Chains A and B, each alone.
Chain A
């Protein structure tokens, strides 16, 4: 009837891969695992510099509430400016 291996399905077996107390940086090519300390309200990614506000679903279960707007906005503006300049150079 089913194709379970070892009595559990693939989806069930993937539960072992879950991490607790951490989330990933929201920068797609960074995706660093960040682990805020209990009660932290913000966290800075040590790899790419993006900064996030932290919310707690419950103890030990943090999530990114949103960016620290001023910090990440500046990063985005700088990157966009550079990309547009590079593109203009390429087109020349």
Chain B
């Protein structure tokens, strides 16, 4: 049974390994994946611990449905205190690692301590060993993954590795489960590097018994039909995620030149159809591929066509690389995006954070806060393709003053650069914003301001708010499974009703992260994709766990609140520009200058934004300061946390 998958506690300092079952009452409260990781983090990490010290605890997990008959349950989740933000660190990635770990007998790992020398953890059919990684340390991501297979003599081994960026303690280093399957955004690769942990490798052939296999397969057909019939997924399967950036740039919802413009004009060379052409030219017509158990196949494959990296193979680029190395730096050239994407993949470094911080440094250079003396002669002007590529390398290997400083993350770097540099840093809770500009979309502004791991589009973004859905459709979506009779607006420039949408999406995304399902299979980019009403049968047929949509909703709320409790314990306060639910002043003060007529000239109206936060807090059961009310903790049955149930 999937519920029989175990949890392992691994101490890298002592080499001790303890394996335990996951109690059913814990499963019912937190399911698995990100939710259970949040519980474990809150219980097993000391308040105020050094994120790159041995006391920080790293969680690795699959969802409760991972490796079952359910579609797209490929997601691997990692969590620890973030070296980038000092708050919650959390990353979720596709690929094949978590199912392999489940077949090897485990759904959750809790890794603490620090190894004396580079090691990797090998999980194999119920056994766990800590192996020497001296010969693998220093290798880029793909080479490291193949070296581990060679070391173990098994080409089917799947591994989750940190690249050179993690080893060099870049605060936003990723963990990677494939060539481009990245657990990015909050420096989980840095946590691995700090522990001298190069990789976690898994190989499993243990059976997973499905509770009701015939019904599970039958229901999954219906689930798949729902997923592949969605227009958004058909587009993803043809063009990959770059279509998102292309569409958003079209109306003026992306960031260009750090935050100076909200549209990258004449960006035809990085539009999805152009990138698709390059993929087809270099990899043939069947260049789209996918993760474990997924029918969407949103991952493109390509080779770089020109320059010093010509002939190198990679996957993607995701929309995030288009934004990071095309839009934000105003270098809308396909080759720059493809090379930039390749380098961050091989270095194991977050593309969003890297591109955002390079763009920030470019604006500081433009304003004279950074000079050629600081950059060792590099012309850090916007539009300089070579400078973008050079800076990726300098950050990973911490070369030069600017490269080494940017590797610390934006807030720490702003303290080194000084002057007004912090004013131009577009971040929330220390994490750079996605390459999107939310000044014309208040719901999205609220989402990034309140995201649990910092400014982020994957924690509560009501992306369907951009589709101008009719009121009755919005009502049907957002009133399930919990009745909601408050206001809703089809206008994405409006403020009304948006806090409920963000609250609903926050719970929706937490639920899929607990189940282990990809977000492209839920109400993220498409309104007709599965959510709370569709999940109970999948859960029951595969695991035997009988839960209602309302109960899954409550699990999601509970897990979100645990994340909030962790952040509050680590110093989150409502209006703190470094650790709070607050936006950079430019959102309120500087109007947008490009895009569609109704997008041009917009700012976020601060009084309305504050009201949205108030309302969002009310939905969550928080007081005006953002702390949970006692009755909320009781309602969610977490008033005694940390409870150390497991």
Q: Which A residues lie at the B interface, using CB under 8 A? A: 1-4, 9-15, 17-18, 24, 26-31, 48, 50, 52, 55, 57-58, 61, 63-67, 69, 72-73, 75-76, 79-80, 83-84, 87
The contact sample of 14 A-B pairs, CB cut-off 8 A, is A1-B547, A2-B549, A3-B548, A11-B531, A12-B226, A15-B226, A24-B468, A27-B596, A27-B599, A57-B235, A64-B250, A69-B265, A69-B266, A80-B593
Contact of B480 with A10 in the complex, beta carbons under 8 Å: yes
Contact of B491 with A29 in the complex, beta carbons under 8 Å: yes
Query: Mask for B590-618, Cβ within 8 A of A = 1, else 0?
Result: 01011111111100000000000000000
**Interface assignment of B570: CB less than 8 Å from any CB of chain A:** no
A2-B549, A76-B600, A80-B601 known; A9 and B534 CB under 8 Å? yes
CB distance from A26 to the nearest CB of B (A): 4
B477 proximity list for chain A (CB < 8 A) = 10-11, 14
* Closest A residue, CB atoms, query B472: A17
Contact of B476 with A10 in the complex, beta carbons under 8 Å: yes
CB distance from A82 to the nearest CB of B (A): 9
**Interface assignment of B401: CB less than 8 Å from any CB of chain A:** no
Contact of B234 with A57 in the complex, beta carbons under 8 Å: yes
Contact of B534 with A12 in the complex, beta carbons under 8 Å: yes
Which 10 pairs between the two chains have the least Cβ-Cβ distance?
A83-B601, A26-B251, A9-B533, A27-B596, A31-B468, A29-B598, A28-B598, A79-B597, A14-B528, A80-B600
A31 to B481 Cα, complex, angstroms:
29
A65 to B251 Cα, complex, angstroms:
11
A9-B534, A29-B491 known; A1 and B546 CB under 8 Å? yes
CB distance from A90 to the nearest CB of B (A): 13
**Interface assignment of B492: CB less than 8 Å from any CB of chain A:** yes
**Interface assignment of B340: CB less than 8 Å from any CB of chain A:** no
**Interface assignment of B327: CB less than 8 Å from any CB of chain A:** no
A29-B493, A83-B600 known; A66 and B271 CB under 8 Å? yes
Contact of A76 with B246 in the complex, beta carbons under 8 Å: no
**Interface assignment of B589: CB less than 8 Å from any CB of chain A:** no
CB distance from A4 to the nearest CB of B (A): 6
A41 to B147 Cα, complex, angstroms:
48
Query: Mask for B474-485, Cβ within 8 A of A = 1, else 0?
Result: 001100110000
**Interface assignment of B267: CB less than 8 Å from any CB of chain A:** yes
Contact of B273 with A84 in the complex, beta carbons under 8 Å: no
A3 proximity list for chain B (CB < 8 A) = 480-481, 533, 548-549
A4 to B252 Cα, complex, angstroms:
39
**Interface assignment of B336: CB less than 8 Å from any CB of chain A:** no
A-B contact count (CB 8 A): 137
CB distance from B469 to the nearest CB of A (A): 8
Contact of A52 with B238 in the complex, beta carbons under 8 Å: no
A79 to B510 Cα, complex, angstroms:
40
Beyond A64-B247, A65-B246, A76-B594, 17 extra complex contacts between A and B, CB < 8 Å: A1-B537, A2-B533, A3-B481, A4-B533, A10-B533, A14-B477, A28-B440, A57-B235, A58-B234, A58-B238, A63-B243, A65-B271, A66-B249, A66-B267, A69-B266, A76-B596, A76-B600
CB distance from A18 to the nearest CB of B (A): 7
CB distance from B642 to the nearest CB of A (A): 32
Contact of A27 with B548 in the complex, beta carbons under 8 Å: no
Chain B 15-38 residues near chain A, CB threshold 8 A: none
Contact of A55 with B273 in the complex, beta carbons under 8 Å: yes
**Interface assignment of B197: CB less than 8 Å from any CB of chain A:** no
B267 proximity list for chain A (CB < 8 A) = 66
**Interface assignment of B527: CB less than 8 Å from any CB of chain A:** yes
Q: Which of B226, B252, B528, B531 has the most CB of A within 10 A?
A: B528
Interface of chain B: mostly helix, strand, loop or mixed: loop
Chain B interface residue number, banded: 35 or more
A26 proximity list for chain B (CB < 8 A) = 247, 250-251, 596
Q: Which of B268, B440, B492, B600 has the most CB of A within 10 A?
A: B600
A14-B477, A66-B246 known; A27 and B597 CB under 8 Å? yes
Q: Which of A66, A83, A87 has the most CB of B within 10 A?
A: A66
A17 proximity list for chain B (CB < 8 A) = 470, 473, 527-528
Contact of B235 with A63 in the complex, beta carbons under 8 Å: yes
**Interface assignment of B293: CB less than 8 Å from any CB of chain A:** no
A84 to B271 Cα, complex, angstroms:
31
**Interface assignment of B458: CB less than 8 Å from any CB of chain A:** no
A87 to B603 Cα, complex, angstroms:
13
**Interface assignment of B536: CB less than 8 Å from any CB of chain A:** yes
A77 to B70 Cα, complex, angstroms:
50
A87 proximity list for chain B (CB < 8 A) = 601
Partner of B536, one of A1, A48, A55: A1
A88 to B607 Cα, complex, angstroms:
21
* Closest B residue, CB atoms, query A73: B265
Q: Which of A11, A27, A66, A87 has the most CB of B within 10 A?
A: A11
* Closest B residue, CB atoms, query A55: B273
Partner of B598, one of A14, A27, A55: A27
A75 proximity list for chain B (CB < 8 A) = 597
CB distance from B432 to the nearest CB of A (A): 25
CB distance from A30 to the nearest CB of B (A): 8
**Interface assignment of B529: CB less than 8 Å from any CB of chain A:** yes
**Interface assignment of B523: CB less than 8 Å from any CB of chain A:** yes
Partner of B250, one of A1, A9, A48, A67: A67
Contact of A57 with B239 in the complex, beta carbons under 8 Å: yes
B229 proximity list for chain A (CB < 8 A) = 15
Chain B 472-511 residues near chain A, CB threshold 8 A: 473, 476-477, 480-481, 491-493
**Interface assignment of B540: CB less than 8 Å from any CB of chain A:** yes
CB distance from B470 to the nearest CB of A (A): 8
A24 proximity list for chain B (CB < 8 A) = 467-468
* Closest B residue, CB atoms, query A16: B528
A61-B234, A65-B273 known; A28 and B481 CB under 8 Å? no
CB distance from B48 to the nearest CB of A (A): 43
A61 proximity list for chain B (CB < 8 A) = 231, 234
* Closest A residue, CB atoms, query B223: A12
**Interface assignment of B516: CB less than 8 Å from any CB of chain A:** no
A4 proximity list for chain B (CB < 8 A) = 533
A79 proximity list for chain B (CB < 8 A) = 597, 600-601
A48 to B266 Cα, complex, angstroms:
21
A72 proximity list for chain B (CB < 8 A) = 596
A48 proximity list for chain B (CB < 8 A) = 597
